[in-house]
Amino acid sequence: MPHLHAEWHKASRIGWLRAAVLGANDGVISTASLMVGVSATGASASAVLTAGIAGLVAGAMSMAAGEYVSVQSQADTERADIMRETTELETQPELERAELVAIYRNRGLDEDLAVRVADRLMAHDALGAHVRDELGITETLRARPAQAAIASAMSFALGAALPIAVALASGSEAALYITASTLVALLGLGGLAAYAGGASIRKGALRVAFWGALALALTAGVGRLFGTAI
């Protein structure tokens, strides 16, 4: 019997990595931009810090709520599809068997082999076979609303904590240091995501940093143009 070895593919981690990087990016960019925009109005250091903390809390809760609602909708759809599949297996098993046979034939199996595979899988776990092969739902990819909400909120909060920590340490020069540290952080996040996904580190880092720089510039311009000292 040949020796089995574990294979680690980049695609297996791109889902959670994408969510984590997006959350951290949102936290860094939105909070830093808010703080830089408030600072551009001539506001005091305490006002800038307060804006950052408020942005962290509001952003993390918004991310959690949005992710929970979105993923819960997906979970509800999955649950309804599984219930429908359960009913169909009870009321029309031959049609469900034919569906599996057709699925396996479309994947390249000949008729006889497709029939044998369908029969064996339905005898072992009919619902599991249909959920996986007909509906495309697997345990790894099942929707988990609470987990998604917590992960999004935490990644956003971790990203947002950076400009707040910089503001605490830099005092009156907060805007300058927040901008510099944010761009460095975005370069790192973009490069990390690109590396883990097998893409160009340079392109990934520059892409994320560009959009962050644009957000910072726009909010600073709005603060300078329309703001008044608080």
Structure confidence by residue, pLDDT tens digits, 51-109: 999 999 999 999 889 888 888 887 888 888 888 888 888 888 888 888 888 888 888 88
- Residue by residue, DSSP assigns 194-229 as HHHHTS-HHHHHHHHHHHHHHHHHHHHHHHHHH---
| pLDDT score recorded for residue 89 | 81
Is 80 exceeded by the pLDDT of residue 211? yes
66-80, 98-112, 138-152, 164-178: least confident range: 138-152
| pLDDT score recorded for residue 141 | 59
Q: In angstroms, rounded to a whole number, what is the distance separating the alpha carbons of residues 224 and 228?
A: 8
| pLDDT score recorded for residue 107 | 84
Is 60 exceeded by the pLDDT of residue 213? yes
Name which residue leads in pLDDT, 211 or 131. 211
Is 90 exceeded by the pLDDT of residue 196? no
Angle at which helices 201-226 and 174-197 pack, to 10 degrees? 150
Classified as helix, coil or strand, 52 is helix
| pLDDT score recorded for residue 16 | 54
- Residue 45, number of CB atoms within 10 A of its CB: 16
Q: In angstroms, rounded to a whole number, what is the distance separating the alpha carbons of residues 20 and 111?
A: 44
Is 80 exceeded by the pLDDT of residue 182? yes
- Can you read off the two tokens belonging to residue 36? 């830089």
Mean pLDDT of all residues in 217-223: 90
- Can you read off the two tokens belonging to residue 52? 């950052």
Is 60 exceeded by the pLDDT of residue 2? no
| pLDDT score recorded for residue 164 | 94
Is 90 exceeded by the pLDDT of residue 200? no
| pLDDT score recorded for residue 228 | 54
pLDDT-derived band at 230 (thresholds 50, 70, 90) equals very low
| pLDDT score recorded for residue 19 | 66
| pLDDT score recorded for residue 162 | 93
- Can you read off the two tokens belonging to residue 192? 């990390």
Cβ atoms 27, 120 nearer than 8 A: no
CA atoms within a 13 Å half-sphere pointing along the CA-CB vector of 129: 20
pLDDT-derived band at 218 (thresholds 50, 70, 90) equals very high
